[in-house]
Amino acid sequence: MTLAPILLRSPAVVVALPTPIVERSREHLFPKDVVLVTSRDLADDPDLFPEESRAMARATPARRHEFALGRCCARQAVSLLGGPRVAIPVGRFRDPVWPFGYVGSITHCQGFCAAAAARTAPVDDSRAIRGLGLDSEPVASLPEELTGVVCTAEECAWLASRQGDGVPWDRLFFCAKESAYKCLFPTTHRFLEFRDVGVRFDPENGSFDARLPSLYGSPSHLIGRYAIRDVILLAATTWLEGHECP
């Protein structure tokens, strides 16, 4: 299948595209050395490598389709970084296994799909990237009973102070925490509860800080950014080397 990539020169990641094309942006949600490829639904299933195909042997057509779209975006992100066009197998805990020297993250939601990737080796004088996390969610509030599962008491108080501003902050907490989990898991292999992660949003800057439990080898916090584009919320986290707990 041929995909038509376009390079977005604006700092915004536009996700609501009328036609099924793949776009990429080096800016906005992630630091500059990260490539983000997003796609709206494609009619056909993009090609898979045999081991990827085997992982989807018993999947429904819809699941196979979203998986293939994710792999397509992920491979394109790695290629744009000058990396190899290889399989991205499914890890033991469903985590994508990126080619050696690369980290990344995949998300899909309601026909939208995106993948981010970066080289682990630092470029120029920037800091090495040890992990990336990307999550997408529909622009809708969480079911009420979930808010207390996802948010700490401090976050619930903050939510109350933002009521009526039109932003589904409860869903954004969920999205930010899922992105933090995806960022950490491939390296730490540790399960986290939602309330293990403390998120503080900075609505002025479209950013957030994700505080993490103090665990050897894990970062003490991740830097995050979020975006609301049409009907999709996006949260992105980056683990920069040097943020690890002693």
Ligand X SMILES: CC(C)(COP(=O)(O)OP(=O)(O)OC[C@H]1O[C@@H](n2cnc3c(N)ncnc32)[C@H](O)[C@@H]1OP(=O)(O)O)[C@@H](O)C(=O)NCCC(=O)NCCS
Q: Under the rule (CB under 6 A), what is the footprint of ligand X?
A: 66-67, 70, 93-96, 106-108, 135-136, 177-178, 180-182, 185-186, 192-194, 197
HSE (side-chain half, CA atoms, 13 Å) at 94: 8
Q: Is there a contact between 116 and 77 (Cβ–Cβ < 8 Å)? A: yes
- Taking the least distance from each CB to ligand X, the nearer of 6 and 54 is 54
User: Looking at beta carbons only, is 91 or 101 nearer to ligand X?
Assistant: 91
Q: Least distance (Å) from ligand X to the CB of residue 6?
A: 23
CB of 113 to ligand X, least distance (A): 8
| 123/158 with CB nearer ligand X | 158
Residues 6+ apart with CB under 8 A from 14: 8, 23, 229
Upper half-sphere CA count for residue 134 (Cβ side, 13 Å): 29
Q: Hey, how many other C-beta atoms are within 10 angstroms of the C-beta on 116?
A: 29
Q: What is the CA radius of gyration of the chain?
A: 17
Q: How far is the CB of 93 from ligand X (least distance, A)?
A: 4
* Residue linked to tokens 């479209």: 206
Residue closer to ligand X (CB basis): 39 or 136: 136
Residue 189 C-beta: closest distance to ligand X, Å: 8
